[in-house]
Structure 1
């Protein structure tokens, strides 16, 4: 269904921010190394590693950096990172999910709690907001890849569960388990996607006014600037004109 492309909006803003962050490649490398340790170091046999490599390529990470991160896992690297999920509330009653890879849970929890408290939010108990989201696959194509009807048909035939088309992107959703299979079929029909990843998709979104949006974006920046934080998801909906005004 045509309309506002929330994930594309977030992607474009996040992409602009990522280029300014010196630790971007470090975070991508960490995810690749952890993914390679958890399974085979072959992306064709390891779905999580494949997603991590795709994310790195989307940010123009050099092939040598990607290979070094894989080799680090195979070389007996003694750094052990734990996956941790934090949940909380942001300005305007928004729900926030933070995913981290950390070698020190106490440090990460303190940093995340501080980011929330200093930016109009508060950290909540595990499960407090996750029930309002679905863990699903997202395949993102630019609008130029084809018409809404053509992409919808291709997505449905590939096994997608939902599609949202807008002026700038086609967001194709799948079940978490079917992401690799569906993305492979779509690649054959539509070419390589801009992004293929797992996301937290909210059941309902919360409209945020300009004042709360300014504080919310500061919260997201503070969380994303933390070395341990990998991704930040939310149920917020900020109108395009507000996003443009706030930059």
Structure 2
């Protein structure tokens, strides 16, 4: 278990969703409702629901909104959503995975395909890139949770597999089947996390130069802005100097 992983799993987080809080809250609400509908409506007894609620709290989603999303599932009037995964390639040969919750597979597939084609990418077949990723649990903490050594020791004690610490925060990686046990142990040691979720961690990363980075980030934005897309993962790294030039 290393304090810093050689290849960081970078999930591009620009300010687009922060500027569109209603769209972000809609996605969070959808995940909460689906999680509550698929299991018990109690976050303490439903790991997926608890993770969704934690994610909503981390984004300052009002408690009333969270409860309404749960009540929607309990009342039986929630829409029926299907979980769909899309895989493809972006500029520079970057591998991208987009996970969606949709009530209209044709609409979502068309939107995702368009996002890829308009931004230098190509939508591939299922399994075309996921073989280059590991399915893992991801627990995120802000930098204020502690320094790298403190978080590393807590993660080691909790049974995590790896830790990546940077100025903006800490990513703690676990085996899928141990995600929620590790999360509970870490919560006791470090407090409530910013996020607990299943994630796609790349086995290797591709450094993207200035020529491709701008188009790649537009592709990521286009995917994240789609109402049906819940998360986007990629095996890219954009150097800080390139990010500064792009603004």
The TM-score normalised by the length of structure 1 is 0.93
Match of 1:104 in 2: 104
Could you say what secondary structure the match of 1:23 adopts? helix
Distance 1:112 1:237 in 2: 22
Distance 2:114 2:165 in 1: 37
Distance 1:192 1:228 in 2: 27
Match of 1:154 in 2: 154
Give the direction of change, closer, same or farther, for the CA distance of 1:100–1:126 in structure 2 (3 Å limit): same
Please give the root-mean-square deviation of Cα atoms over the aligned residues, in Å: 1.8
Instruction: Provide Cα deviations, 1:189-217, integer angstroms capped at 9, x if missing partner.
Output: 12222322221110000100012110001
Q: Does structure 2 conserve the Cα–Cα contact (< 8 Å) formed by 1:5 and 1:171?
A: no
Shift of 1:19: 1.3
Residue 184 (structure 1) aligned with residue 184 (structure 2): yes
Match of 2:44 in 1: 44
Shift of 1:78: 4.9
Match of 1:204 in 2: 204
Q: Which has the higher contact order (CA 8 A, sep 6+)?
A: 2
Distance 1:118 1:147 in 2: 41
Match of 2:220 in 1: 220
Could you say what secondary structure the match of 2:126 adopts? coil
Match of 1:62 in 2: 62
The TM-score normalised by the length of structure 2 is 0.93
Give the direction of change, closer, same or farther, for the CA distance of 1:24–1:5 in structure 2 (3 Å limit): farther
Distance 1:147 1:50 in 2: 26
Residue 239 (structure 1) aligned with residue 234 (structure 2): no
Structure 1 residue ranges without an equivalent (≥5): none
Structure 2 residue ranges without an equivalent (≥5): none
Corresponding pairs, count: 244
Residue 18 (structure 1) aligned with residue 3 (structure 2): no
